[in-house]
Amino acid sequence: MTTSVAVLGATGSIGTSTLDVIAHHPDRFRASVLVAHRSVDALVALCQRFRPDLAIIADASLGAELARRLVAADVRCDVGAGSDAVIAAVSGPLCDTVVAAIVGAAGLESTLAAARAGKRLLLANKESIVMAGPLLLDALREGGGVLIPVDSEHNAIFQCLPGGRPDLNKAGVRRLILTASGGPFRGRTRAELGSITPDQACAHPKWSMGRKISVDSATLMNKGLEVIEAHYLFGAPADAIDVVVHPQSLVHSMVEYLDGSVLAQLGNPDMRTAIAHALAWPERIEAGVTPLDLPRSGPLAFEPADTDTFRCLALAFEALRAGGDATAILNAANEVAVDAFLAGTLPFLAIAEVVEHVLAELPPEPVVDVQTLVARDAVARQAARKVLHRAYC
């Protein structure tokens, strides 16, 4: 029997890698639902190749165009438009597995819906768990499904723990150690980061990814979001999560146990490994990835993170320790600041300044429900835009 997979963010970097793994295993997986935001051309091309049951364009205004284009391309599948169509698809019978690979807070409601519906949830969209960790864990309990992390570090930790996501105390875990590449500006001083362009920030030394996460890697906010993600996914307190810079990006993360053992997961920096692992778990399948050749890989280096230059990592730890919805506020402010940086209206170093201002302006409140959280996300975005306008326009 084949597993039906809904790929949310099908036209993106994770979506493309997921579809590549699926294409290697037609007897085992089928891309039954494909979702994009506005990339009609790319979505039509994917539908021609993968013949899903349902194609959805999240921008509702493009639904008629998608339908027209699919008919012209001789693709017969159902067509949906708008975020309600995405939520209905992940909650319904067309898929067993949902790959949550929409970028940003836009992925929150579909991730929660997939969890509530008890689907096998492959989580790449880290912003949803950073925003709404407790709500996502509740939704998973309610739905009774399984979550398998796709983010490379969390997938690595998942692989280094006994039985997936156990109680860390019972499993004898002392620390989770997240590796960070250090991004394209590792080793630079603040003075050297004054005139960074979006293209420079997006030129990640090891991974090929979408522009938002690439900027996050360059500021080390990506690692900050991942610390928060690890806290919720594995139930680790902030003090039991460390970050170590590892420029080769071959060790994807580690788990330190009470007896001094440190287990690590290694592999070439190619997201198809984590995706294939998550799709097939607890089995293993071919991912199409070049095997790691350690003698030719050169030495593996490790160094501490420079949180004075890259303030975002320190801010993420502060938000995690502050509790309540502080991590959602951090995420919202960061999304606004990264958008402005990518649009060329905010300097690179000001991303951390905007986040810091907004966190100081909005003390944390308890996480109650999605509606309240979405409202707080909007308030934080407005506060971030005000800071931007005041200081940089």
Ligand X SMILES: NC(=O)C1=CN([C@@H]2O[C@H](COP(=O)(O)OP(=O)(O)OC[C@H]3O[C@@H](n4cnc5c(N)ncnc54)[C@H](OP(=O)(O)O)[C@@H]3O)[C@@H](O)[C@H]2O)C=CC1
Dihedral angle at the C-alpha atoms of 360, 365, 366, 370, nearest 10 degrees? -100
How far apart are CB 194 and ligand DXP at their closest, in Å? Answer: 21
**Cβ closer to ligand DXP: 134 or 205?**
205
217 binds, among ligand X, ligand DXP, Mn ion, none (CB under 5 to 8 A by kind): ligand DXP
Residues forming the site for ligand X (CB under 6 A): 9-15, 35-39, 58, 101-103, 106, 124-127, 151, 207, 209-210, 212-213, 271
Q: Is 252 annotated for ligand binding?
A: no
76 binds, among Mn ion, ligand DXP, ligand X, none (CB under 5 to 8 A by kind): none
Length of the chain as a residue count = 393
Q: If binding is defined by CB under 6 A, does position 392 make contact with ligand DXP?
A: no
Pairing of the two strands 147-149 and 262-266: unpaired
How far apart are CB 37 and ligand X at their closest, in Å? Answer: 3
User: Residues 125, 208, 289, 52: is their CA dihedral positive or negative?
Assistant: positive
223 binds, among ligand X, ligand DXP, Mn ion, none (CB under 5 to 8 A by kind): ligand DXP
Q: What is residue 376's DSSP assignment?
A: H
**Cβ closer to ligand X: 50 or 357?**
50
Q: Is 126 annotated for ligand binding?
A: yes
How far apart are CB 155 and Mn ion at their closest, in Å? Answer: 9
Q: Is 181 annotated for ligand binding?
A: yes
How far apart are CB 153 and ligand DXP at their closest, in Å? Answer: 6
Residue at token pair 């008629």: 64
Cα gap 24→281, rounded to integer Å: 16
**Cβ closer to ligand DXP: 152 or 265?**
152
Cα gap 94→209, rounded to integer Å: 28
145 binds, among ligand DXP, ligand X, Mn ion, none (CB under 5 to 8 A by kind): none
Q: Is 335 annotated for ligand binding?
A: no
Q: If binding is defined by CB under 6 A, does position 181 make contact with ligand DXP?
A: yes
**Cβ closer to ligand X: 52 or 387?**
52
Q: If binding is defined by CB under 6 A, does position 265 make contact with ligand DXP?
A: no
Q: How many angstroms separate the Cα of 251 from the Cα of each of 237, 260, 271?
A: 22, 18, 13
Q: Is 210 annotated for ligand binding?
A: yes
Q: How many CB atoms lie within 10 A of CB 9?
A: 26
Cα gap 51→353, rounded to integer Å: 46
Residue among 128, 152, 159, 219 that touches Mn ion (CB under 5 A): 152
Cα gap 34→21, rounded to integer Å: 15
**Cβ closer to ligand DXP: 115 or 213?**
213
Structure tokens at 322: 């502050």
Instruction: Round to the nearest angstrom and report the end-to-end CA distance of the chain.
Output: 57
Q: Is 297 annotated for ligand binding?
A: no
36 binds, among ligand DXP, ligand X, Mn ion, none (CB under 5 to 8 A by kind): ligand X
How far apart are CB 150 and Mn ion at their closest, in Å? Answer: 9
Annotate 256-271 with three-state secondary structure. Answer: EECCCCEEEEECCCCH
Question: Where are any strands of DSSP class E within the chain?
Answer: 3-8, 29-36, 54-57, 78-81, 97-100, 120-123, 147-149, 173-180, 241-245, 251-257, 262-266
**Cβ closer to ligand DXP: 97 or 222?**
222
Residue among 222, 265, 273, 309 that touches ligand DXP (CB under 6 A): 222
Cα gap 390→32, rounded to integer Å: 47
**Cβ closer to ligand X: 272 or 311?**
272
Q: If binding is defined by CB under 6 A, does position 207 make contact with ligand DXP?
A: yes
**Cβ closer to ligand DXP: 110 or 217?**
217
181 binds, among Mn ion, ligand X, ligand DXP, none (CB under 5 to 8 A by kind): ligand DXP
How far apart are CB 27 and ligand X at their closest, in Å? Answer: 26
Instruction: Give the strand order in the sheet containing 120-123.
Output: 78-81, 54-57, 29-36, 3-8, 97-100, 120-123, 147-149
Cα gap 36→19, rounded to integer Å: 13
| Cβ-closest position to ligand X | 12
The answer to whether 6 and 94 have CB atoms below 8 angstroms apart is: yes
* Residue numbers at the binding site for ligand DXP (CB under 6 A): 151-153, 180-181, 183, 207, 217, 222-223, 271
What are the binding residues for NADPH?
11-14, 38, 125, 127, 210
